[in-house]
Amino acid sequence: MSYNRTLQAYIEEYYRTNGKKATPLDIYEIVDWLLAKRVWEPSRKDARNILARELSQAMRTKVILDENGNKVRRMHCVRKKVDQGDGTLKQMAFWLDMEFAPPPFMQESIQQRRGDIANDCWAITKDVEYYNKNYNKAQPIEVWLDFREDMEERKMTGGPDPDDEE
């Protein structure tokens, strides 16, 4: 079983054991339950992956202020599949400060981020359609994916503070 499927099985076990399937909960309730039961303890590999995610988040939220006081992301990432020498490919993330990033690196980083946004929008669209069709007995939920007004609002307010994102 993959690590992801193992974690999904833990979540299902938590719901079965605690009867909270229809109750919104804080993810840390499951974390604390797993740690208390000693079902999950971080291996060196787990600790390495956790720290890598946290470092990536720290780089993602490192900002500078432009001449108008707008926050601009300082560190940018490009994901690439790298040959491991044995014919297998491993996806790796390469970070670079925009001060030193050549245009091709920035172009690739921005295109990847745009693709991530498009994938999220596609997933939201499918989720909403499925929910409306199978579970929603009220007015169908509508999702608008035209972000022009959102961008204008953020231009006026300076947008959200990346340090507040978790």
pLDDT tens digits, one per residue of 84-109: 999 999 999 999 999 999 999 999 99
Phi/psi for 77 (5° steps) reads: -125, 145
Give the chain's domain count. Answer: 2
Q: Which residues pair with 77 in a beta bridge?
A: 95
Q: Is the same domain home to 96 and 49?
A: yes
Q: Is the same domain home to 64 and 143?
A: yes
pTM of the model: 0.76
CA dihedral in degrees (116, 117, 118, 121; nearest 10)? 120
Q: Is the same domain home to 48 and 34?
A: no
Hey, is 80 helix, strand or coil?
strand
- List, for residues 103-145, the tens digit of each pLDDT value: 999 999 999 999 999 999 999 999 999 999 999 999 999 999 9
Q: Is the same domain home to 18 and 77?
A: no
Residue 81, domain extent: 44-164
Q: Which two tokens stand for residue 113?
A: 């981020």
Closest CA to 12 of 128, 163, 4, 104: 4
Q: Is the same domain home to 21 and 32?
A: yes
> Cα–Cα distance between 41 and 52 in angstroms, integer?
17
Q: Is the same domain home to 21 and 55?
A: no
Q: Is the same domain home to 109 and 50?
A: yes
- The whole-number average pLDDT for the span 71-93 is 93
